[in-house]
Structure 1
Amino acid sequence: MKVLLSTLNSKYIHTALSLRYLKAFAEKETDVEIEIAEYTINQNINHIIGEIYRKMPDVLAFSVYIWNVSEILSISEAIKMLLPDVKIVLGGPEVSFETESLIAENSAVDIVISGEGEISFAEVLVALRGEKPLSTVLGITYRDGDCAVVNPSRTELADLSEIPDVYSGDLEEYENKIIYYESSRGCPFNCKFCLSSTIKGVRFFDIERVKRDLKRFLDAKVKQVKFIDRTFNAKKAHAMEVLRYILENDNGYTNFHFEITAHLLDDEMMELLSTLPPGLVQFEIGVQSTNSETIDAINRTTDFERLSKSVAKLRSLQNIHLHLDLIAGLPHEDYRSFEKSFNDVYSLKPEKLQLGFLKLLKGSSLRAERELHGFKFIDRAPYEVLENRYMPYSDMLRIKDIEELVEVYGNEKDFEKTVSYMIENIYRSPFRFYEALSEYWRENGHYESPHSKVVQYKLLKEFAEKKHGSDIDMMTELLRFDFVRNTRSPNVPEFLGGKSGELSKEEKYLLLRDEEMRNRYFGDVDERDYNKLHKKLHFEKFKYSMDGEPLESVYMFDYSVSERELQKSRVLDIKDELERVMRCLG
């Protein structure tokens, strides 16, 4: 029996951990040989159908999520027409609920696995070989003629060590890809919008197994390991042991992404985090809303005051990339309430503010309350809420416009000085700044096509000129500073002053050959490397200091920072050094 496990990832750099678990567990429990074939939602669907057809599987099993369910159902329909005897099995969070209707509406689907699939999938393969009836396999719904038979549910795997190691072999397939990894399953919280609330309790993989896997990732120098633990720091001792291990074995390249709950961080954890090198870890922190009525309605455990203090401490360490999440469309959150939530979170100054929109996932508690809150949504993946009793669709559209500009002008940090100046000195509110900018973009048709980075700078300058012309000199200088800081070997566009701020060749030569300056900023760099370093340096004069004062300033931009660092260049004020070397020349 030839078995093919497949899915469509959302991006090429992603990998499906679920397929590897299913393959490893089933091959341990049976003598069936299983092949994995991963595709992406960006590939032509006919190409995928052709690739699967050429493999001629007897059993075709898909891992299904909201981003790929439509394509997988279409592929299943085509494969069933071409290979009528193939058994098609679906599993994953998107198909774990409403399984009877799924089979009734999709004649190509033979079996659906609900919940955790390792044991059920292995038993399905045994049944398909005729060694046991499908009626005895817990946790599945299967086709019997025109009927769907729903078997009793299966409890979760109690001992995660029963799942074989899936990273013991060659890791070449993960080159330039993200490894998705879990050290625990389940979540201690019960947020109504999340499917994790359907699984009670938290189970952990053995810490020695986790360390072995981490060692393999570090030795292979994979680019990123993204933990999919729902709350990585739910068990403090476990989290600290993982963090200590990656610190002790840091290879200077691999970084690790964790979802954490900020209010669980204590002084001991903060002390450990303070020792991490910049860029080794990223933390994603779900805030979702700061409206207390909203927090209660979604059954979320959040102490925003404690969370804010924890985030402030993390920010002060200057070594951890922080992602904070908000969700628009939640109960009791109207447009102005969302504005407050946005401003509260933006003021914490995360590296990335991820603004999402509520999705009523199958199986979630909030989906069952759709009439209570007046949720309007299209009942097909991704089930995104269009409007509710508290926020009309017109306001949701305004927030979508704002979200796009937060991605462009906020999260990339390419405009940090300029945007901060406009928020602090003109709008006094992050939300009102993005609201005004989004209205300008909408009025001028800028949402209708993508823009290069240079054009994004130009559009922000045009907005500043038309709306706040009296400050345009200062804002142009800030834009030029942002451009140079974030552009290696910058060719400053004319609308930002062109070459007007560059130092002369003589000035650059004197600075680079000055012994005092070299010792101050590059004392640990040997002669050979220092001679190469000048190619990664840029010098620029400005009419203003970057704290807003109308004082001429001179900065050196050092682009020799590592990929893991939280900035694209190191910026040094060298006005005094330039004046000194020029005096010596005179």
Structure 2
Amino acid sequence: MKVAVVSYFDSLRFDEYPITHSLGAMRLGAYLRTAHPEWDVRLRAFDERGYSARAAASALLDEGFDVVGVPAYIWTMERARELTEHLCAAEDAPLVVCGGPETRAMDYTRWPQDTVYVMGQGEEPLVWLCERRATDPVFAGPSLEEDCTQPVYSASRDRVRAYRYAVPDRGNRSLPQGVALFSPEFESMLDGDRIDTDFAWYETARGCIYDCSFCGHNTLPFFATFDTEFVRAEIRNMRDRGIRRIFLIDPILGGKAARGKEILRTFRDLAPEIALTAYMRPEFLDDEFVELLVESNIHELLMGLQTTNPNVPKHVRGNHFEKIMRFVPHLAARGVPWRAELIVGLPGDDMTGLRESLRFTIDELRPWSVHSYHLTAIPETKLFELLDRTDDDIWIKADNRLRVVSASSFDERELREMLVYAGGITSRHSHLRERDGAAPGFDVLDRDVRGALADPVNGRSAAAAFITMGHEAGHRVWRARSGAALGAGA
């Protein structure tokens, strides 16, 4: 039995994330290796740059895989669908299994009839599907029984029937564990598709104890974890393999405050040379947690403030400002580089509220960096339920990629102005931080951005760069204006 688990990566982002295989693919493959060590399991990754679905399918078919798993994320959907079309059209077609967060709500009518879709955590359903294929070489989507007790569906088995089996068991808070990442058994899955890197994605927990209505992590409505000894073994493996940078994708470091402290101590004691990027909620912080962060090798701590606007519904994001002000402003001063994250396009927000969110973040919290993001309405979230409900007091509209384009508190033109402004402020902040080692206050940044946008020659190109909210695009604008009179820090 030969199984491939597919990932997509962007080689243009190798400066940030120099790894080809996704963490989801690694976990799925590791679980398959534990369930059936006799199977030949391989991880296969394809670059989004110059991607050809036909060439990717040909490469997979040449290896003779019986099952191919493809990812269902917003940014991979079309590539995965095209790959599936080519695979299913082959004479000796493999079983194609599509899994990921989008399978809960995606339109699958354009996909081949033979495809099978998995909802929720995919480890156990993928093993079940592979076992079916092992016993029946022609098993595919049309073979699914209506009464099967798995969170899987196809064109011939209604998705509604699969939902009841996709509800996670709250009594089981242990995540499905396969072979440890970067163990010899794991490394065997990389044969034929290796990359030398000192970076890795990593996780110790899934799900979240908070219920922010915009967040996709809430599709697992509680947090579950990998066993502590298992995490320790994987940290040792990564240390010994030469991994020196980790992006810890736990929705919040460790899942709960006590476990977050335990994870930090483990990295500090077993692999102090590994630099950590991780998500944090200020509500987790206390004096002990701050001291552990100071002692740890933190590359960047990401904290989502999202907004300070009281007109944004509380279910979107509730912030504990007393705790924020007690601990957060002192982190950078104590050597903990942290990033503040804001969301542009929240219902109830407007330009006035956005400006105040940026001012408060920059002047009061004093982060090392500030990033802003365009709101996406993620299916299966509470925020998604506001989509197109324009008869209600609070509503949103979104484009075909589910990015919000207007809401009850702003129209499309106003949103564009908000996106441009946020991209300008955050990129100017990071540009001056990188150049001078410090960033000025909000008023100076505001003046610089207004000046750039009012430039009669280059104002439009500046707006086009800022609206992407990517710092590098903004930096190009600021470097080009470096000889102009931009006030302090110019």
Name the TM-score, length of structure 1 as normaliser. 0.70
Shift of 1:113: 0.2
Counterpart amino acid of 2:27? Y
Are the equivalent residues in 2 in contact too, given 1:110–1:142 (CA < 8 A)? Answer: yes
Shift of 1:188: 0.2
1:113 maps to which of 115, 118, 126: 118
Counterpart amino acid of 1:438? L
The answer for the alignment partner of 1:156 in structure 2 is 168
- Residue pairs, 1:562-573, within 5 angstroms: none
1:266 corresponds to 2:286? yes
Are the equivalent residues in 2 in contact too, given 1:286–1:326 (CA < 8 A)? Answer: yes
- Residue pairs, 1:71-220, within 5 angstroms: 71-83=79-91, 85-98=93-106, 101-102=107-108, 104-107=109-112, 110-130=115-135, 134-135=144-145, 136-144=148-156, 150-151=161-162, 152-156=164-168, 158=172, 159-160=174-175, 162-169=177-184, 173=194, 175-176=196-197, 178-220=199-241
- Residue pairs, 1:46-445, within 5 angstroms: 46-83=54-91, 85-98=93-106, 101-102=107-108, 104-107=109-112, 110-130=115-135, 134-135=144-145, 136-144=148-156, 150-151=161-162, 152-156=164-168, 158=172, 159-160=174-175, 162-169=177-184, 173=194, 175-176=196-197, 178-252=199-273, 254-276=274-296, 280-298=298-316, 300-318=317-335, 320-347=336-363, 348-370=365-387, 371=389, 372=392, 373-379=394-400, 381=401, 383-406=402-425, 408-412=427-431, 413-416=433-436, 420=440, 423=441, 428=443, 430-431=445-446, 433-440=448-455, 443=459, 445=461
Shift of 1:125: 1.0
Residue 378 of structure 2: SS of its match in structure 1? coil
Are the equivalent residues in 2 in contact too, given 1:189–1:301 (CA < 8 A)? Answer: no
Shift of 1:295: 4.9
CA pair 395-255 structure 1, distance change in 2 beyond 3 A: same
CA pair 231-209 structure 1, distance change in 2 beyond 3 A: same
- Residue pairs, 1:439-518, within 5 angstroms: 439-440=454-455, 443=459, 445-446=461-462, 456-464=478-486, 475=488, 478-479=489-490
Are the equivalent residues in 2 in contact too, given 1:177–1:222 (CA < 8 A)? Answer: yes
Higher RCO (C-alpha 8 Å, min separation 6)? 2
Supply the distance in 2 between the matched residues of 1:267 and 1:453 (Cα, whole angstroms): 36
Point out where structure 2 has 5 or more consecutive residues left out of the alignment: 466-471
CA pair 122-234 structure 1, distance change in 2 beyond 3 A: closer
Shift of 1:255: 0.7
CA pair 233-378 structure 1, distance change in 2 beyond 3 A: same
Shift of 1:108: 5.2
Supply the distance in 1 between the matched residues of 2:34 and 2:167 (Cα, whole angstroms): 20
CA pair 44-463 structure 1, distance change in 2 beyond 3 A: farther
Specify which structure has the higher proportion of helix: 1
CA pair 377-455 structure 1, distance change in 2 beyond 3 A: closer
Counterpart amino acid of 2:248? F
CA pair 161-66 structure 1, distance change in 2 beyond 3 A: closer
Counterpart amino acid of 1:434? V
RMSD: 3.0
The answer for the alignment partner of 1:549 in structure 2 is none
Shift of 1:62: 0.4
Are the equivalent residues in 1 in contact too, given 2:198–2:244 (CA < 8 A)? Answer: yes
Are the equivalent residues in 2 in contact too, given 1:65–1:93 (CA < 8 A)? Answer: yes
- Residue pairs, 1:28-47, within 5 angstroms: 28-30=34-36, 31-45=38-52, 46-47=54-55
Supply the distance in 2 between the matched residues of 1:163 and 1:156 (Cα, whole angstroms): 19
Counterpart amino acid of 1:390? S
The answer for the alignment partner of 2:6 in structure 1 is 6
Supply the distance in 2 between the matched residues of 1:43 and 1:137 (Cα, whole angstroms): 40
Supply the distance in 2 between the matched residues of 1:392 and 1:454 (Cα, whole angstroms): 29
Residue 311 of structure 2: SS of its match in structure 1? helix
The answer for the alignment partner of 1:515 in structure 2 is none
1:21 corresponds to 2:41? no
Are the equivalent residues in 2 in contact too, given 1:92–1:113 (CA < 8 A)? Answer: yes
CA pair 432-369 structure 1, distance change in 2 beyond 3 A: farther
Residue 276 of structure 2: SS of its match in structure 1? strand
Are the equivalent residues in 2 in contact too, given 1:323–1:353 (CA < 8 A)? Answer: yes
Are the equivalent residues in 2 in contact too, given 1:177–1:224 (CA < 8 A)? Answer: yes
Shift of 1:2: 2.9
Shift of 1:162: 4.1
Name the TM-score, length of structure 2 as normaliser. 0.83
Residue 105 of structure 1: SS of its match in structure 2? coil
Residue 331 of structure 2: SS of its match in structure 1? helix
CA pair 368-258 structure 1, distance change in 2 beyond 3 A: same
Supply the distance in 2 between the matched residues of 1:419 and 1:71 (Cα, whole angstroms): 40
Supply the distance in 2 between the matched residues of 1:315 and 1:134 (Cα, whole angstroms): 55
Point out where structure 1 has 5 or more consecutive residues left out of the alignment: 469-474, 480-586
CA pair 452-407 structure 1, distance change in 2 beyond 3 A: closer
Are the equivalent residues in 1 in contact too, given 2:453–2:460 (CA < 8 A)? Answer: no
Shift of 1:326: 0.3
Shift of 1:76: 1.6
CA pair 143-281 structure 1, distance change in 2 beyond 3 A: same
Counterpart amino acid of 2:30? A
Are the equivalent residues in 1 in contact too, given 2:279–2:302 (CA < 8 A)? Answer: yes
Supply the distance in 1 between the matched residues of 2:211 and 2:47 (Cα, whole angstroms): 31
Shift of 1:280: 3.4
Alignment length (residue pairs): 452
The answer for the alignment partner of 1:498 in structure 2 is none
Shift of 1:156: 3.4
Are the equivalent residues in 2 in contact too, given 1:233–1:261 (CA < 8 A)? Answer: no
Residue 360 of structure 1: SS of its match in structure 2? coil
